[in-house]
Amino acid sequence: MRWEYDGNVHSHDPISVLLAGGANGRLKAGRHIQNEKHTPIANLLVSMMDLAGTPIDSIGNSSGKIDL
């Protein structure tokens, strides 16, 4: 099935994200992480909050964390 953007639903699936910086040594550089299809982008936000020292259980439609 070919993916097509549907602006009516403001779809962010699939989306590429580049994280710059090392989170003060907590983020390992030089990697490409590919998640399962339809992984909520909110999972990345939960993981980033954890790296920033402000852990949260969930945000939006998150279903867990991404191993960064």
Mean pLDDT of 52-66: 94
- Alpha-carbon Rg for the chain in angstroms: 13
Given this model, what pLDDT does residue 12 score?
Answer: 65
How many angstroms separate the most distant Cα atoms in the chain?
41
Given this model, what pLDDT does residue 9 score?
Answer: 67
Given this model, what pLDDT does residue 37 score?
Answer: 85
8-48 residue pLDDT tens: 666 667 788 999 988 889 998 899 999 998 898 899 999 99
Q: Any idea which residue has 């954890």 for tokens?
A: 50
CA atoms within 13 A on the CB side of 66: 22
pTM of the shown model: 0.78
Q: Any idea which residue has 């602006």 for tokens?
A: 7
Give the integer Cα–Cα distance in Å for 49 and 45.
6
